[in-house]
Amino acid sequence: MWWHQHNLCFRHHTQEDCSLGDLEKKVSVAGSGTGRGSPAVTLVQLPSGQTVHVQGVIQTPQPSVIQSPQIQTVQVATIAETDESAEAEGVIDSHKRREILSRRPSYRKILNELSSDVPGVPKIEEEKSEEEGTPPNIATMAVPTSIYQTSTGQYTATGDMPTYQIRTPTTALPQGVVMAASPGSLHSPQQLAEEATRKRELRLMKNREAAKECRRRKKEYVKCLESRVAVLEVQNKKLIEELETLKDICSPKTD
DNA sequence: AGTATTTGGCGTCAGCATAT
DNA sequence: ATATGCTGACGCCAAATACT
């Protein structure tokens, strides 16, 4: 996958991505030769030790969980190779390369496509209903007052609870962000600066939430891949056993 | 016990995709 | 054309774990 190939796992973040790549590879390999006659519910033990019930994940002659990214991989692998030589000649710069490489589809998209193909695969919901048990609509955004910026540029909450955990429904305007006067009524440079600051804070806040949501989806996606790998491995084993049995039956007896 | 390394999560930025 | 959303990458921090 290009997003792995181009980042050589220097840090744990990218190592994470690499293991995700391995997982995706596993699923595509394990799933490539299967797809019929599986039990409705399979009990599978994950590498982590926990046992999961997976329902009909591999029943259909399905495309792989990661089929679309995989197709990209093939494209990219060839492109990347040619790129290497091209780079040696100094023909294609990194920007152009970026343009060639297609973007990885979102986890939501991948998983939802999968779930529409395959029953038993959970859909990633559009708006998750507060899994932390925090009721929606109780948010109180006291944003700037309890936050200071550290020497490293990070924002830190001064209270017990980090400010970022205090959230509002994504559609609503954060309460801490007071709507400034309409742009038409802005006059002084100071007002303009305040408006710019306010916009920035709003953008950062939204992005913060988006990043959290994105990570949550990614985890869900990885979980899904893990259970799929486990199921496919079980089925693969069964098929191999079945094959051996059939071989025994069909092979001419040598006595 | 003290230190080093690993792991997991966070906020932010950049850049692409999509909606308006 | 602009706004908005999504996600990879990065740097940081804290907790967990391994090592001495």
**Nearest protein residue, CA measured to C1' of B10:** A212
| Confidence at residue A254, expressed as pLDDT on a 0 to 100 scale | 61
| Nearest nucleotide (C1') to alpha carbon of A200 | B12
| Nearest nucleotide (C1') to alpha carbon of A202 | C4
Cβ-based neighbours of A57, under 8 Å, separated by 6 or more: A42, A118, A120, A121, A227, A228, A231, A232
| Confidence at residue A113, expressed as pLDDT on a 0 to 100 scale | 56
Q: Please report whether residue A215 resides in a domain.
A: yes
Q: How far is the CA of A226 from the C1' of B17 (A)?
A: 28
Q: How far is the CA of A184 from the C1' of C1 (A)?
A: 20
Q: How far is the CA of A17 from the C1' of C14 (A)?
A: 22
pLDDT digits (tens, 9 = 90+) for A81-96: 333 333 333 333 333 3
Q: Where are the alpha helices (DSSP H) in A32-89?
A: 67-89
Q: Please report whether residue A152 resides in a domain.
A: no
Q: Please report whether residue A218 resides in a domain.
A: yes
pLDDT digits (tens, 9 = 90+) for A29-77: 655 544 333 333 445 555 445 555 544 333 333 334 433 333 333 333 3
pLDDT at residue A246 above 50?
Answer: yes
Q: Where are the alpha helices (DSSP H) in A90-188?
A: 94-100, 107-117
| Confidence at residue A214, expressed as pLDDT on a 0 to 100 scale | 93
| Confidence at residue A213, expressed as pLDDT on a 0 to 100 scale | 92
pLDDT at residue A219 above 50?
Answer: yes
CA angle A163, A165, A171 (to 5 degrees): 105
Q: Please report whether residue A145 resides in a domain.
A: no
Q: Please report whether residue A125 resides in a domain.
A: no
| Confidence at residue A245, expressed as pLDDT on a 0 to 100 scale | 95
Q: How far is the CA of A186 from the C1' of C13 (A)?
A: 40
pLDDT at residue A239 above 70?
Answer: yes
| Protein CB footprint (7 Å) on chain C nucleotides | 5-13
| Nearest nucleotide (C1') to alpha carbon of A215 | C7
| Protein CB footprint (7 Å) on chain B nucleotides | 6-17
Residues with CB under 7 A from strand C: A 3, 6-7, 10-11, 13-14, 17, 104, 106-109, 150-152, 154, 170, 206-207, 210-211, 213-214, 217-218
**What is the rounded (10 degree) CA torsion for A197, A199, A202, A208?**
-80
**Nearest protein residue, CA measured to C1' of C8:** A3
| Nearest nucleotide (C1') to alpha carbon of A151 | C12
pLDDT digits (tens, 9 = 90+) for A227-237: 888 899 999 99
Instruction: State how far the Cα of A131 lies from the Cα of A171, in Å rounded to an integer.
Output: 18
pLDDT digits (tens, 9 = 90+) for A156-197: 333 333 333 333 333 333 333 333 444 445 567 788 788 888
**Parent domain of A214:** 190-254
Q: How far is the CA of A104 from the C1' of C8 (A)?
A: 10
- Give the bridge partners for A156, in sequence order: A148
Number of domains in chain A: 1
Residues with CB under 7 A from strand B: A 12-13, 15-16, 95, 98-99, 102-103, 153-155, 162-164, 204-205, 207-208, 211-212, 215, 219
pLDDT digits (tens, 9 = 90+) for A106-159: 565 665 555 555 544 555 444 333 333 333 333 333 333 333 333 333 333 333
Q: Please report whether residue A200 resides in a domain.
A: yes
Q: Please report whether residue A204 resides in a domain.
A: yes
Token couple for A112: 């939802």
Q: Please report whether residue A60 resides in a domain.
A: no
| Confidence at residue A189, expressed as pLDDT on a 0 to 100 scale | 79
| Confidence at residue A193, expressed as pLDDT on a 0 to 100 scale | 81
Instruction: State how far the Cα of A76 lies from the Cα of A4, in Å rounded to an integer.
Output: 11
Cβ neighbour number for residue A73 with a 10 Å cutoff = 21
CA angle A23, A28, A31 (to 5 degrees): 115
